Chain A
Amino acid sequence: MSPAFLLLLALGLGVAAWVVARARAWSFKRARPGERLAALPAYHGWYAALWVALPVVVFAIAWSAIAPQLIAGSVLASPAAADLPVMELQRQTMLAEARAVATGAAPAVFNPDAQALVQPFREAISRFNIIGIVAALLIAFAGGAWAFLRLQHGFTARTKVERAVMGALLLASLVAILTTLGIFVSLVFETVRFFGMVSPVEFLFGTSWGPDPMSATDNIDASRYGALPLFWGTIYIGAIIAMVVAIPLGLMSAVYLTQYADPRWRRWLKPMLEILAGVPTVVYGYFAALTVAPAIRDAAIAIGIENASSESALAAGLVMGVMIIPFVSSMADDSIAAVPRAMRDGSLAMGATHSETIRRVLLPAALPGIVAGVMLAISRAIGETMIVVMAAGAAANLSANPLEAMTTVTFQIVAMLTGEGSFDHPATLSAFALGFVLFLVTLALNFIALRVVKRFREAYE
Chain B
Amino acid sequence: MSETSILPSEPTPELTRTPAFEARLKRRYAAERRFRLAGLGAILFSLAVLLFLLVTMTMNGIGGFQRVTLDVPIRFSQADLSLPPATNNLGVAIRSLEDQGLPEVIHAEAARVLGEDAADELSPDAWRIVAEEIIDDPSMLGRDVELALPTSANLSAALSGDGHAELQPLARRLSEQGVLADRFDPGFLTRSDATDSQLAGIWGALKGSILTMLVTLLLAFPIGVLAALYLEEYAPRNRWTDLIEVSINNLAAVPSIIFGLLGLAVFLALFPSLRSAPLIGGMTLALMTMPVIVISGRNAVKAVPPSIRAGAMALGASPIQVVFHHVLPLALPGILTGTIIGMARALGETAPLLMIGMRAFVATPPDGLTDPATVLPVQIFLWSDEIDRGFVERTSAAIIVLLLFLLVMNGIAIYLRNRFEKTW
* Chain A residues proximal to chain B, CB less than 8 Å: 107, 158, 162, 165-166, 168-177, 179-180, 182-183, 186-187, 189-190, 248-253, 255-257, 259-260, 269, 271-273, 275-276, 278-287, 289-291, 322, 325-326, 353-356, 358-359, 376, 379-380, 382-386, 389-390, 410, 413-414, 417-418, 431-432, 435, 438-439, 442-443, 446-447, 450
**Contact flag A276-B266 (CB < 8 Å), given A172-B230, A282-B350:** no
Residue of A whose beta carbon sits closest to that of B34 = A355
Are B39 and A260 closer than 8 Å at their CB atoms?
yes
Q: Is the CB of B248 within 8 A of A176?
A: yes
Beta-carbon contact of A172 and B222 below 8 Å: yes
Question: What secondary structure prevails in chain A residues at the interface with B?
Answer: helix
In the assembled complex, 23 residue pairs joining A and B whose CB atoms fall closer than 8 Å, in A order, are A107-B89, A162-B318, A169-B229, A172-B227, A183-B259, A183-B261, A186-B261, A253-B42, A256-B36, A272-B47, A282-B380, A285-B381, A289-B384, A353-B32, A376-B253, A383-B254, A384-B255, A413-B257, A413-B261, A435-B261, A442-B255, A443-B254, A447-B250
- Asked if residues B223 and A172 are in contact (CB atoms below 8 Å), the reply is yes
- CB-based contact A438/B258 at 8 Å: yes
In contact, B253 and A179 (Cβ under 8 angstroms): no
Q: Is the CB of A280 within 8 A of B355?
A: no
Q: A278, B406: Cβ atoms under 8 Å?
A: yes
Residue of B nearest to A353 (CB): B32
Complex contact A179–B392 (CB within 8 A):
no
The answer to whether the Cβ of B103 comes within 8 Å of any Cβ in the partner chain is no
**Given A180-B251, A183-B262, A286-B384: A385 in contact with B351 (beta carbons within 8 A):** yes
- From 350 to 402 in chain B, residues with beta carbon under 8 angstroms from any chain A beta carbon are 350-351, 354-355, 359, 377-378, 380-381, 384, 392, 395-396, 399, 402
Cα–Cα, bound, A276→B318 (Å): 45
Neighbouring B residues of A390 by C-beta, 8 Å: 381, 384
Does B349 touch A at the CB level, under 8 Å?
yes
Q: How large is the interface on B (under 10, 10 to 19, 20 to 34, 35 or more residues)?
A: 35 or more
Judge whether B282 is part of the interface by a CB distance below 8 angstroms.
no
9 extra interchain contacts, Cβ-Cβ under 8 A, other than A256-B43, A280-B347, A435-B258?
A169-B230, A176-B248, A176-B251, A271-B414, A276-B46, A282-B350, A384-B255, A389-B381, A418-B359
B349 touches A280 (CB 8 A): yes
B406 lies within 8 A of A353 (CB): no
Max count, chain B CB within 10 A of own CB: residue among A172, A376, A383, A410: A172
Asked if A183 contacts B381 (CB within 8 A), the reply is: no
Check A177 against B244 for contact (C-beta < 8 Å): yes
In the complex, which residues of chain B have a beta carbon less than 8 angstroms from the beta carbon of A176?
A: 227, 244, 247-248, 251, 290-291, 294
A-B pairs, top 9 by smallest CB distance, nearest first, are: A383-B255, A280-B348, A256-B39, A172-B226, A252-B42, A355-B35, A186-B265, A385-B351, A169-B230
Are the C-beta atoms of B41 and A354 separated by less than 8 Å? no
Does B189 lie at the interface of the complex (its beta carbon under 8 Å from any beta carbon of A)?
no
Q: Is B1 located at the chain interface by the 8 A CB criterion? A: no
The CB with the most chain B CB atoms within 10 A, among A259, A379, A435, is that of: A435
Of A180, A282, A384, A439, the most chain B CB neighbours within 10 A belong to A282
Task: Compute how far the CA of A172 lies from the CA of B224 in the bound complex, rounded to whole angstroms.
Answer: 7
Taken together as a complex, chains A and B put the C-alpha atoms of A232 and B181 apart, in Å, by: 51
Instruction: Report B-chain residues with C-beta under 8 Å of the C-beta of A432.
Output: 261, 265
- Cβ 8 A contact of A286, one of B227, B257, B262, B395: B395
Per-position 1/0 for B266-307, Cβ under 8 A of A: 100000000000000000000100110010000000000000
CB distance from B356 to the nearest CB of A (A): 9
- A181 and chain B: residue at smallest CB distance: B247
Contact: A278 with B410, CB < 8 Å? Answer: yes
Q: Find out whether the CB atom of B226 lies under 8 angstroms from the CB atom of A173.
A: yes
CA distance A289 to B164 in the complex (A): 24
Give residues of chain B (53-73) contacting chain A, Cβ–Cβ below 8 Å: 53, 56-57, 60
Given the contacts A283-B57, A418-B354, A446-B250, A158 and B266 also touching, CB distance less than 8 Å: no
Do A385 and B256 have beta carbons less than 8 Å apart? Answer: yes
Q: Which of A177, A273, A285, A438 contacts B255 (CB 8 A)?
A: A438
Contact for A278 among B229, B249, B344, B392, CB less than 8 A: B344
In the complex, which of the residues A174, A186, A386, A410 has the most CB atoms of chain B within 10 Å of its own CB atom?
A386
Q: How far is the CA of A418 from the CA of B382 in the complex (A)?
A: 12
Q: Return A439 CB to nearest CB of chain B, in Å.
A: 5
Specify which of A175, A180, A275, A284 lies most central, judged by the most chain B CB atoms within 10 Å of its CB.
A175
Distance, CA A454 to CA B334, complexed state (A)? 24
Identify the closest chain B residue to A318 (Cβ). B49
Interface 0/1 of B125-142, CB less than 8 Å to A: 000000000000000000
Separation of A286 and B381 alpha carbons in the complex (Å): 8
Instruction: State whether the Cβ of B184 lies closer than 8 Å to any Cβ in chain A.
Output: no
Q: Contact at A283–B35, with CB atoms within 8 Å?
A: no
Q: Whole-angstrom distance between the alpha carbons of A438 and B347 in the complex?
A: 23
Instruction: Please give, as numbers and ranges, the residues of chain A lying within 8 Å of B60 by CB-CB distance.
Output: 290
Contact B42 A414 (CB under 8 A): no
Instruction: Tell whether, in the assembled complex, residue A325 and residue B244 are in contact, meaning their CB atoms are under 8 Å apart.
Output: no
Shortest distance in angstroms between A1's beta carbon and chain B's nearest beta carbon?
14
Asked if B262 and A186 sit within 8 Å, CB to CB, the answer is yes
> Which residues of B have CB within 8 Å of A322?
46, 49
Q: Does B420 contact A (CB under 8 A)?
A: no
B28 within 8 A of A: yes
